[in-house]
Chains A and B, each alone.
Chain A
């Protein structure tokens, strides 16, 4: 299977957890949907192209950043008690909020489209992006350190492969459950290490209204992963690229 491997760097970034508002919390690594979204936007795809993604990386620290937040319900009429800003007849709230930012993020990402003919154009999209690519919020610009076309092969390991210097990864839960990997950084007295997430990957639009008055909602396909630092164990089978990096494709 051919794939695009990216090494990326970001200085201060937020991968928002969908349920956090007053404090915009961040995931420790970008979730799959964020990466797939970036690929689609850079390639200009208008419909979903099925792809598998592996996310690994690390960050140095987290900081809470105070910012001015503007928010409004679209087309809501201005009310003096509710809104700070009036735009024509509409109202907008202005207040403060906090965003969790990860500092000095390094990422190692593998992307493998199901339709293997797309590999080249995805590769090109990263080599010559249509615009400065961002990952996370719009303002979280990426520095691309490396884009490489790689071939992923299913390999039974002779020797275990440790994670790259301090890197963590999203690992499919089944892999952890079947003990095909070892989670490092254990703590005595804690049965399971790592953090379990249900991450969004892609969605279908579902109409809950009628044909005339459509009410479209996104029905997300969520994947069960563990965020941890892992070693791929010997005698187990993994997707490996030519530089001996393990890709946890989901």
Chain B
């Protein structure tokens, strides 16, 4: 099968979607330092992966009871094979079993962390349980949580020829099924959300750029930036080499960014549904041609 890679770099807008280790009773967001030493929050790839598998709408791998009840951890289950479960087809498994060194499959769909594009300014939310405490006439407790609403950027990369193939079990799926799975993945990404602390955060793309390529390099990973509510077009154009330019598409949600028109003129940005439809066509073409 011809080598093909699908990569998309996506910008979405969300608020406080991933907390890390806390100090005292202040819940702190996961953060990194970069640029001029500013702090940026991020949503870890594991969090994104969790939401994607949850929303694939496919059969989830066999449920195993855990201490806490009904969590599902499929990638260790011996009967979980890729033909049944797209989840482990995409994200791999590691199985414990006798007589072998364990079976493993590395991830074919890979995600980066979603890092905020605007720096964190130390805003804090203030919470109490007064409502509950009043019922039993007790003193309330207070807590604080860091909050940060920002644009986030992440990149998804899929090795198309490796999806639906598993040498460990000698499984090779029909091309149609493979295409269906990848398109399902694209749909999921298009409508992604995340439930956290009683909120449903919308992670759907407001801007996306990418395509199906012969060259497997997530080129847009570090060139998509939003400044003053504009996408920096020059930076993106700086990596649009002839080898990838014809295969590159770009989608934008109208009025999200102040320079939507520039995006349309310079990058020929489509609407978001058009963008995903086009990518799905490309996926179909690839699997049909093989």
Contact = CB atoms under 8 A, between A and B. Distances in A.
* A and B touch in their complex, CB below 8 angstroms: yes
Interface of A: 9, 11-12, 60-61, 63-68, 70, 72-76, 84-88, 90, 92, 94, 98, 101, 103-104, 127-134, 138-139, 141-144
9 contacts: A65-B30, A67-B44, A72-B96, A74-B97, A84-B67, A85-B73, A88-B77, A132-B7, A134-B110
B46 A67 contact: yes
B27 interface: no
A90 B159 CA distance: 31
Interface in B69-85: 73, 76-78
Given A86-B64, A141-B110, 10 more contacts: A11-B113, A12-B112, A60-B35, A66-B21, A67-B46, A74-B100, A85-B66, A87-B77, A87-B95, A138-B106
Contacts of A76: 96
Interface in B105-163: 106-108, 110-113, 115, 155, 157, 159, 162
Nearest to A86: B64
Contacts of B277: none
B79 to A, nearest CB: 8
A214 B111 CA distance: 38
Given A63-B33, A75-B96, A85 B76 contact: yes
Nearest to A130: B3
Nearest to A103: B32
Interface SS of chain A: strand
Return the 4 tightest CB-CB contacts between A and B, nearest first: A61-B33, A75-B98, A131-B159, A132-B157
Contacts of B273: none
A87 B217 contact: no
Interface string B24-36: 0000001111110
Contacts of B21: 64, 66, 98
A85 B64 contact: yes
A174 to B, nearest CB: 35
Contact of B218 (A60, A130, A143): A143
Nearest to B46: A67
Contacts of B94: 70
B64 A11 contact: no
Contact of A139 (B45, B64, B67, B214): B45
Contact of A141 (B42, B106, B157): B157
A129 B44 contact: no
B115 A11 contact: yes
Given A74-B97, A141-B155, A87 B46 contact: no
A132 B107 CA distance: 11
B144 to A, nearest CB: 19
A68 B34 contact: no
Contact of A90 (B96, B106, B222): B96
Given A68-B46, A86-B65, A74 B101 contact: yes
A128 B107 contact: no
Contacts of B111: 139
B221 interface: yes
Nearest to B79: A88
B5 A131 contact: yes
B102 interface: yes
B216 interface: yes
Nearest to B239: A145
Nearest to B109: A132
Contacts of B46: 67-68
Contacts of B215: 127-129
Nearest to B6: A132
B278 interface: no
Nearest to A90: B96
A119 to B, nearest CB: 19
B60 interface: no
A106 B113 CA distance: 17
A9 B216 contact: no
A65 B110 contact: no
Contacts of B97: 74-75, 90
B78 A103 contact: no
B31 A63 contact: yes
Nearest to A89: B98
